[in-house]
Amino acid sequence: MVRLPTAFSLRLAAILAAAVVLAEIAEEGFKLVWPAASPVVSQGLHILFVAAAVAALVETGVVRRLRRALAQQQEAESRYRLLFDESPVLCCLTRDDTGRPVVVDANRAFCLAVGLDHDRVVGQFLDRFYDEASRRELLEEGGYRRALEGTFTEEPRTLIASDGRAIPTVLRARPLSDSDGRVWGTLAVYVDLTERLRAEESLARLHAAVENAGEMVVLTDPQGRITYVNPAFEVASGWPREEALGRTMVELLGPGEHPGADQEAMRRTLAQGHTWKGSFVRRRKGGGRFEVEATISPIRDRGDRVRGYVAIERDVTRERRLERTLRRARRLETLGQLAGAVAHDFNNFLTVILGQAEILERNPELPAGDKDRVDRIREAAERAADLTSQLLAFGRRQPVHPRVVGLNDLVRNHQKMVRKLVGEAVRVEVSLDPDAGLVRVDPTRFAQVLLNLAANARDAMPGGGTLAIRTGRAQSREGPPEAVLTVVDTGIGMDEETRGQIFEPFFTTKGPDRGTGLGLATVYGIVAQAGGCIEVNSGPGQGARFEIRLPAVDEAEHESDGPEIPSQDVPRGKGQRILLVDDDPAVGQVAAETLEGLGYRVVRADGPGEALLAAEGEGWAIDLLLTDVRMPLMDGVTLASRLSERKPGLPVVFMSGHTGGQELAPGSVFVAKPFRSAALARAVQRALQGAGKTSQGTTALTAPPETSDRSRPG
């Protein structure tokens, strides 16, 4: 079959059409006369002329319009193809093949997504690129049928690439029709959701992290109005999210105090678009304060304009409290070390002063005026000894003799003394819980706790009031039960700053002539030495509440003999030989004179070396060893051990003002310097009678070092 050029075909069609028209004219009798020509020739020429004219008109008009229309159609098809291929969304055309779509065309994005060339995509069934769920929705659940009917709107579909990778998409489909309106297929447009889902997942993780963060996160607009707060902010501040939104931080939490920071400097830093770091003291909803460390940064848009601020704040209230407690404990430890360093020598001096005063008092020829002077010397020495004892107590270096006693018994034994101490203006209410239980404490030392707290309460109620003393039992946070002693007064109370310093030595709110500032420091040391802790609650005008928690002791550990009550009688010796060892000659002399005055024979030694030689010189006929604990070259415990090797069962009495953590040898007795002659006599008598022997081997002179924060006041 011969194909004619398009232009020639159009011209020929136009000429034929013109000829038909002219033929019609001829039939109507329209005639043209040509000179010198036959009628037939004239009519033929006429027809050719008209045909040529019509052809010319067609050539210059209709054909040109037809050419233009074809060119425009080709251009439109080219633009469509370009848009189709370059579209970022995934597109394909399908043809209905008995209810199953076949791909007749696909753009570049679709081919790249599924990982196949265009030729390998075209001709494939569309469901070949679907996962199982999408294939079921396409074929079995009427997805393709709805697309052909034009009722399909938008549904999720998952495409499967050639490498098995799943591509989450959203599908939009519409039917395609021919010129007669018959639907022959669909246009399917897929929007790839991979990046969007990845961004949403990342945003969800970020949101979850912020929501569950321990730090407070606050977002504000440029004017400082809150647009978001996380749960940590709600917990720390007490403000629920719905009440915080739209308000400023100043409205909610106050302007914020800046310890060590300049608030104006913060504003300048933020106004310049920089990040500010510092600390605040915030107010909680309903009262109370909390400390935070804050980082505030501007939030910028793509144009580098500040669109708001993000504040990340961390509640450091507990950390700051622990830091202050640690600093206080370190100060106490330092002062305790200082007290321990000087206590030994200081107590030696006081031992000499008290001993000589007692020797003078026993002189029947002492004039009455001199006797008064000796009394004042002794009283001053005793007050100095009490001060030294308090210093050692708060430093936990005071020798203790713990016993298992009932907490209620401790209160009962000193109830009368408390009433007498506070005076008639203060009403004392005592409530003892029968289940309070037993504790292991030094009864004599623990009496100071109750008396010091009572004296403190009395001074806080100058116009009178009520002092309540209660016992009870509680379960500690760690698990073991605790015995609880609570002392409550209705006095003037304390502010937060005062409350944070009350256990520091020499801190006092009283006048310079009304106390040393060691009362509560002593309480702190004694309680800590017993393994307990103190919690204090107070406010201005609200009185004070001291709660002392001590480890409860099992009933099986109770010692039935009860606390020792010192006798007022001074026992005397019967010529027993005592080896007296002290590196301070003055102490040795006064102790020797005291013992000899009580009927003992004394062999003196100024140090451990002399003591060993003296014992050997006496043929080891020694009935008792009385030795200082802390001595150069060899301590008293080691000396007692060396002597016991040669003389097993030798009774030992240790004496010291500060033991330095030494432990007593089995069967030994301890007397604290400075001692009165009666205390020394009773200690010697107990040792000689074997009353100091224990079934537990050694007895600690001092409490073990702290192993937890339970010994720190709350």
Where do the CATH 3.30.565.10 domains begin and end in the chain? 403-555
Residue 260 confidence (pLDDT): 44
- Asked if omega into 674 is within 30° of 0 (cis), the reply is yes
Phi, psi (deg, nearest 5) at residue 149? -80, -10
CATH class of 87-197: alpha beta
Angle (CA) 373 374 379, round 5°: 100
Q: Which residue has the higher pLDDT, 207 or 498?
A: 207
Q: Which residue has the higher pLDDT, 530 or 19?
A: 530
**672-708 pLDDT, tens per residue?**
888 888 888 888 988 888 744 443 333 334 333 333 3
Are the CB atoms for 555 and 491 separated by under 8 Å?
A: no
Where do the CATH 3.40.50.2300 domains begin and end in the chain? 577-700
Phi, psi (deg, nearest 5) at residue 99? 85, 5
**347-405 pLDDT, tens per residue?**
778 888 888 888 887 777 778 778 788 888 878 887 777 667 666 655 555 555 677 88
Work out the pLDDT band at 274, boundaries 50, 70, 90. Answer: confident
- CATH T-level assignment (fold) for domain 403-555: Heat Shock Protein 90 (3.30.565)
Residue 704 confidence (pLDDT): 31
The size of the chain, in residues, is 714
Residue 579 has pLDDT above 90, yes or no: yes
DSSP 106-142: E-HHHHHHHT--HHHHTTSBGGGGB-HHHHIIIIISS
Residue 31 has pLDDT above 90, yes or no: no
Q: Fill in the amino acid letter for 576.
A: Q
Residue 570 confidence (pLDDT): 76
Architecture of domain 577-700: 3-Layer(aba) Sandwich (3.40)
Residue 336 confidence (pLDDT): 66
Alpha helices in 212-316 (DSSP H): 231-237, 241-244, 249-253, 263-271
**418-438 pLDDT, tens per residue?**
888 888 888 999 999 888 888
Residue 709 confidence (pLDDT): 34
Residue 701 confidence (pLDDT): 41
Is the domain 213-315 a CATH 3.30.450.20 member? yes
Q: Which residue has the higher pLDDT, 156 or 531?
A: 156
**520-550 pLDDT, tens per residue?**
777 887 888 788 888 888 888 888 899 988 8
Compute the mean pLDDT over every residue in the chain, rounded to the nearest whole number: 78
Query: Mean per-residue pLDDT for 141-145?
Result: 89
Residue 196 confidence (pLDDT): 87
Where do the CATH 3.30.450.20 domains begin and end in the chain? 87-197, 213-315
**595-611 pLDDT, tens per residue?**
998 899 999 998 888 99
Distance of CA 549 to the CA centre of its chain: 25
